[in-house]
Structure 1
Amino acid sequence: MIDFTYEKKTTISEALMQLFTIVRLLRSDQGCPWDREQGTKQVSTHLIDETYEYLDAVLCEDKEGQSEELGDVMLNAMMLLEMHQETDALASIEALNLVCEKLIRRHPHVFSDQKVANSSEVIDVWNAIKVNVEGKTHQKDDFFSRVPPSLPPLEMANEIQKKIRKVGFDWPESQGVFDKVQEELEEVATAYKNPEDKQEDLEMELGDLLFAAVNLCRYLGYNPSLALHRSNQKMRRRFNALYQRASAEGIVLSRENLAYMDRLWETIKEEE
C-alpha cells in the first residue's frame, strides 16, 4: 500500500502537481498493474474518448459534468507526460518548454510589436511563421505530407480541404459548394440505378458525396466531426424516446409497425 493523503488544493499549480504525483504513484512498482500496462497508444485513445465526453457535457451545458470530464482529460494528458518522463527524464519538461516557446513565437501580435486587425490575420501570421520561421511545410513530392496519416477518414477529409484552402484553391462562394453536394448525390443515384455498369463505382460515389458534405461543413465554418457527433446524439435521444414509448404501449419495433413508428417519431420531433 502506498501512503498518500489527498488534499483539496486551492491553486491550479498545486492541483496539477497533485494529479501528476498520483499518476506517478499509479505507474510505480507499488502502484496499479493496469496503469503500468498502459502505453501511449492506449492512453491517446482514452484521451480522445474523454475529450468527446467533455464535449458532450459542454453541449448539454452540464457544468458539473464539464468539471468531471475535464479532470479525466487532464488525467490522460498527465499520464502521457509521465510515460515520457519514465523513458527520458527531460522529455516531458522539454515538451512543455517547446509548446511555451511556440506559443510566444507564433503570437508576435501579443508578445512583440506586430499588429493584426482581426482573427483572420492572426491565422495568416501563424501559418507564415510555421512555414517561414519553423520550416514546417510539405514535402516536395507530397503536398499533404503534414496531414497525419492516422487521422480517421472524416477528420482527414477536413484537414485535406483546409490545406488546399490555404493556397487559394477553394470555392469563390457557397452556392458552388451546395451545387457540388447535389452533383455528387446525383452521381450516387446514377451508380445505384446502374449496378451492372462497371464504370459506375457506387462505393466511390458515396465517398465523393461524403467528401463534398465535409467540404460544405468546412466552407460554412463548422467542424464536420462535431456536426456528425451532434446528429448522432440527437438520433440516439429521439430513438430512445421512441423505444421507451413503444415499449410502454406494448408495441414491438418491427417493419410491420413502421407506420406507427413514423407517427411516434414525428410526435417526438414536434415535442422537442
Structure 2
Amino acid sequence: MIEYTYKQAEDLQAALQQLFEIVTMLRSPEGCPWDREQTTKTVATSLMDETYEYLDAINANDTQGASEEIGDVMLNVMLLLEIHKEHNDFDIVGSINGVCEKLVRRHPHVFSTEHAENSTQVLDLWNKIKVEVEGKKASTDDFFSRVPKSLPPLEMANEIQKKIQKVGFDWPGIQGVVDKVKEELQEVVEANSSLDRCQADVELEIGDLLFSVVNLARYLHISPSVALHRSNRKVQKRFNEVARLCKAREITLSGENLAQMDGIWDEVKKTEKL
C-alpha cells in the first residue's frame, strides 16, 4: 500500500507534476499490476482511443466530457513519459525541451524577423526550416520516406497525397477530383461485372476508389479519418433508433422485414433533420 493523499492543484505546473507523480507510483513495485504491465505500444493505442473519445465530446459540444477526455489523453502521455524514463530510452525533460526549441525555431515569423501573412506562408516557412535547417529531407530513392510507415491506411493515403501536392502535382480544380471519384467508381462496377471477374482486381479497384475519395477530402481540407469517424457514429446512433422503434412495433430485425426497416430508417432521418 502506498500512503498518498490527493490535493487539488492550484496551477497547471502543479497539476501536471501531480499527475506524473501518481503515474510513477502506479508503475512502481508497490503500485498497480495492470499499470506495470503496460508498454509503449499498448499506451500509444490507448492514446489514440482517448483522442477519438475527446473528438466525440467536441463534436457533441460536450465541454464537460471534453474536459474529462483531455485529462485521459494527458494520462496516457504521462504514462508514455514514465515508461521511457524507466527504460532510460531518453531524457524526457530533454524531449520536452526539444519540442519547445523546435516550436521557437519553426516560428521565425513570431520569434524572429521573418514575416508570414497567412497560413500558407506559415507552412512554407515551416517546411523550409524542416528541410534546410533541420535536414529532414526525403530519401533520394524514396520520395515518401518521411511518411510514417505505421500510419493506418486511411491516414497513409492522406499523407501520400499531401506530399505529392507539396511539389505542385495536384488537380487545378475540384471538378477534376470529383470526376476521378466517378471514374474509379465506374471501374469498380466494371471489374465486378466482368465476365472473367477476378476478386483481386475488384479489391484493387475498391482501393483506387477509396484513395480518390481520400483525395477529395484532402482537397476540401477535411480529415478523412475524422469524417469517417463521424459517419460511423451517425450510423450507429441512427440504427440504434431503428432497432428501438422496431422493438416497440414488434418488428423483427431481419431481411424479411427489410421494407419496414427501410421505412423506419427514413423516418429516423427525417426526425434528425427536424
TM-score, length-normalised on structure 1? 0.98
Task: Please report how far the alpha carbon of residue 88 of structure 1 lies from its aligned counterpart in structure 2 after TM superposition.
Answer: 2.0
Distance 2:216 2:85 in 1: 42
Q: Which residue of 1 is the match for residue 15 of structure 2?
A: 15
Task: Please report how far the alpha carbon of residue 198 of structure 1 lies from its aligned counterpart in structure 2 after TM superposition.
Answer: 5.5
Matched residue type, 1:257: N
Q: Which residue of 2 is the match for residue 218 of structure 1?
A: 218
Q: Which residue of 2 is the match for residue 102 of structure 1?
A: 102
Q: How does 1:235-246 map to 2 (within 5 A)?
A: 235-246=235-246
Q: Which residue of 1 is the match for residue 188 of structure 2?
A: 188
Distance 1:41 1:209 in 2: 31
Matched residue type, 2:250: G
Distance 1:197 1:181 in 2: 22
Matched residue type, 2:196: E
Task: Please report how far the alpha carbon of residue 196 of structure 1 lies from its aligned counterpart in structure 2 after TM superposition.
Answer: 1.2
Distance 1:157 1:144 in 2: 11
Work out the number of aligned pairs and report it: 272
Structure 2 gaps of 5+ residues are: none
Task: Please report how far the alpha carbon of residue 199 of structure 1 lies from its aligned counterpart in structure 2 after TM superposition.
Answer: 11
195 and 201 in structure 1: CA distance in 2 versus 1, 3 angstrom threshold: farther
Task: Please report how far the alpha carbon of residue 200 of structure 1 lies from its aligned counterpart in structure 2 after TM superposition.
Answer: 7.9
Which stretch shifts more, 200-209 or 150-159?
200-209
Which stretch shifts more, 13-22 or 186-195?
186-195
Query: Post-superposition, which runs of at least 4 consecutive aligned residues in structure 1 deviate over 6 A?
Result: none
Q: Which residue of 2 is the match for residue 174 of structure 1?
A: 174
Q: How does 1:133-152 map to 2 (within 5 A)?
A: 133-152=133-152
Q: Which residue of 2 is the match for residue 116 of structure 1?
A: 116
Task: Please report how far the alpha carbon of residue 91 of structure 1 lies from its aligned counterpart in structure 2 after TM superposition.
Answer: 1.5
Structure 1 gaps of 5+ residues are: none
Contact 2:50 2:73 (8 Å CA) reproduced:
yes
Q: Which residue of 2 is the match for residue 129 of structure 1?
A: 129
Task: Please report how far the alpha carbon of residue 86 of structure 1 lies from its aligned counterpart in structure 2 after TM superposition.
Answer: 1.2
Q: How does 1:65-84 map to 2 (within 5 A)?
A: 65-84=65-84
Matched residue type, 1:41: K
Q: CA RMSD in A?
A: 1.3
Task: Please report how far the alpha carbon of residue 85 of structure 1 lies from its aligned counterpart in structure 2 after TM superposition.
Answer: 1.2
Q: Which residue of 2 is the match for residue 43 of structure 1?
A: 43
198 and 22 in structure 1: CA distance in 2 versus 1, 3 angstrom threshold: closer
Matched residue type, 1:77: V
Distance 1:185 1:195 in 2: 18
Task: Please report how far the alpha carbon of residue 84 of structure 1 lies from its aligned counterpart in structure 2 after TM superposition.
Answer: 1.2
Matched residue type, 1:201: D
TM-score, length-normalised on structure 2? 0.97
Contact 1:191 1:200 (8 Å CA) reproduced:
no
The one-character-per-residue Cα deviations of 1:163-213 (angstroms, maximum 9, x if unpaired) are: 100111000100000000000000000001015156981000000000000
Matched residue type, 1:39: T
Q: Which residue of 1 is the match for residue 257 of structure 2?
A: 257
Task: Please report how far the alpha carbon of residue 124 of structure 1 lies from its aligned counterpart in structure 2 after TM superposition.
Answer: 0.5
Q: Which residue of 2 is the match for residue 3 of structure 1?
A: 3
